[in-house]
C-alpha cells in the first residue's frame, strides 16, 4: 500500500493515537492527495480537495484538529489565482506549516506540567494521545517520587498504550477499570486528560468516560486538567461538531444477542464535559482557564478577539 492508502486506512480504522496526531495525519493526507495534481485541470484539483476535506470531516466529526486543518486547506486554496499549481503549492505549504506548529506545540505542553504535578504526586490519566504522552514522559523522567494511575478507556483500552511507553522507567503504575474510575480518583491527587475539541465556552470534548471522571473529581475535590494545543479550539457553533459513534461490534463482537439484533449496542466514542468541571487547560502557552480558551486560540492564529486570554 502507498503512504496515502496507509494513512487513510489508519484514520478510517481509528488507529491514530490522539487528536493532535489525527490533525497532522489528515494534513499529510491532503498534501499527498493534491501533490500529483499540479498539472491537472483546475476543476479536478478543486474536486479532489473537496472530496478529501469532506471525507476527513465525516470520518472524524468530533475532532476540531481535523476540522481546523480542513478549513486551513480550503482557505489556502481560496487565496490563490485558481491555477492548479498555485492551489497545490499553497495548500501543501499550509499543511506542512500546520504539522510543524502542531509538533512544536505538543513538545511545549510538557514544559508546563511542573505547574500542576509536584514531587510525590499521584497522577491519574484517561485514554491516550500525543499530548498526554509528551506530558507523561516529562513527568516520569523529571519529577521524583510520582506514581501513575490509569483508567482503561474502553473499548480499545488506549490507556495501556501510554503505560507501555513509560513501563521501563520503574514508576509505579496502577490500572483501574472504567467502572472503578471514582475509586481511582479517590486515590489520586491530580487528573489529566487529552482533548479532541474545545468549544468556545471552554467545554472539553474527549474520549467517553471523561465526563464521569470529571464528576468524580468534583465529588472528591481533585483537580482535572485538559492537556491540549490551542489548535483544537473550535471557533464556531458547537452543534456543528458531532459526537462520533463507532460500530457496536467493537463492544459486542461474538455476543449472539447483539449480533442477532436483540440488543442494540451504543458505542459513542467522544463526549462533552462542561467547563465548570474543568480546572484549567494545559496548553503550549501555559495554564488557561476554560473561559479564556477561545481568546487564546484567536490570539494564536492572529484573529480578532474580544478580550485577553485568561492565563494563570
Query: What pLDDT score was predicted for residue 67?
Result: 87
User: Which cell numbers in the block locate residue 293?
Assistant: 480558551
Last residue of a domain, one of 103, 121, 136: 103
Quick: pLDDT tens for 63-77. Answer: 888 988 999 999 999
The CATH number that applies at residue 205 is 3.40.50.10470
**227 has which bridge partners?**
282
Query: What pLDDT score was predicted for residue 19?
Result: 76
Rounded-to-integer distance, Cα 261 and Cα 269, Å? 21
Residue 259 lies inside a defined structural domain of this protein: yes
For the whole model, what pTM was predicted?
0.81
Residue 306 lies inside a defined structural domain of this protein: no
Total length of the chain: 312
Query: What pLDDT score was predicted for residue 303?
Result: 62
Quick: pLDDT tens for 141-156. Answer: 999 999 999 999 999 8
Domain of 52 in residue numbering reads as: 3-103
User: Minimal CA–CA distance to 30: which of 96, 100, 102, 101?
Assistant: 96
pLDDT at 124 over 80: yes
Residue 29 lies inside a defined structural domain of this protein: yes
pLDDT at 312 over 50: no
The mean-pLDDT minimum among 57-66, 269-278, 280-289 falls in: 57-66
> What would the mean pLDDT of 122-130 be, rounded to a whole number?
93
Query: What pLDDT score was predicted for residue 106?
Result: 84
What are the residues whose beta carbons fall under 8 Å from the beta carbon of 203, sequence distance 6 or more? 238, 272, 273, 274, 275, 290
Query: What pLDDT score was predicted for residue 308?
Result: 42
Same domain, 149 and 52: no
> What would the mean pLDDT of 288-300 be, rounded to a whole number?
95
Q: Please state the domain count of the chain.
A: 2
* 206 touches 239 (CB < 8 A): no
Last residue of a domain, one of 54, 80, 103: 103
Q: What is the mean pLDDT of the chain?
A: 92
Amino acid at each position: 500500500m502507498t503512504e496515502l492508502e496507509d494513512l487513510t486506512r489508519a484514520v478510517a480504522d481509528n488507529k491514530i493515537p490522539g487528536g493532535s496526531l489525527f490533525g497532522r495525519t489528515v494534513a499529510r493526507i491532503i498534501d499527498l492527495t493534491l501533490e500529483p495534481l499540479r498539472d491537472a485541470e483546475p476543476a479536478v484539483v478543486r474536486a479532489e480537495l473537496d472530496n478529501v476535506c469532506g471525507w476527513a470531516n465525516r470520518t472524524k466529526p468530533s475532532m476540531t484538529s481535523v476540522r481546523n486543518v480542513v478549513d486551513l486547506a480550503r482557505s489556502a486554496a481560496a487565496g490563490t489565482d485558481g491555477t492548479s499549481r498555485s492551489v497545490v503549492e499553497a495548500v501543501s505549504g499550509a499543511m506542512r506549516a500546520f504539522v510543524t506548529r502542531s509538533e512544536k506545540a505538543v513538545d511545549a505542553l510538557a514544559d508546563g506540567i511542573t505547574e500542576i504535578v509536584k514531587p510525590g504526586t499521584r497522577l491519574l490519566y484517561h485514554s491516550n494521545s500525543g499530548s498526554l504522552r509528551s506530558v507523561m514522559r516529562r513527568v516520569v523522567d523529571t519529577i521524583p517520587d510520582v506514581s501513575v494511575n490509569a483508567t482503561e478507556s474502553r473499548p480499545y483500552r488506549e490507556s495501556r498504550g501510554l503505560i507501555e511507553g513509560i513501563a521501563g522507567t520503574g514508576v509505579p503504575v496502577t490500572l483501574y477499570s472504567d467502572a472503578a474510575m471514582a475509586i481511582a480518583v479517590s486515590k489520586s491527587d491530580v487528573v489529566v486528560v487529552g482533548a479532541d475539541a474545545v468549544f468556545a465556552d471552554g467545554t472539553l470534548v474527549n474520549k467517553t468516560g471523561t465526563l464521569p471522571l470529571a464528576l468524580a473529581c468534583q465529588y472528591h475535590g481533585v483537580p482535572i486538567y485538559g492537556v491540549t494545543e490551542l489548535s483544537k479550539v473550535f471557533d464556531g457553533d458547537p452543534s456543528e461538531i458531532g459526537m462520533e459513534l463507532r460500530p457496536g461490534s467493537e463492544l459486542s463482537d461474538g455476543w449472539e444477542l447483539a449480533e442477532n439484533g436483540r440488543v442494540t449496542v451504543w458505542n459513542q466514542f467522544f463526549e462533552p464535559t462542561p467547563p465548570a468541571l474543568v480546572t484549567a487547560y494545559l496548553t503550549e502557552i501555559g495554564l488557561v482557564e476554560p473561559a479564556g480558551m477561545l481568546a487564546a486560540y484567536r490570539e494564536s492564529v492572529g484573529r480578532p478577539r474580544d478580550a485577553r486570554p485568561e492565563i494563570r
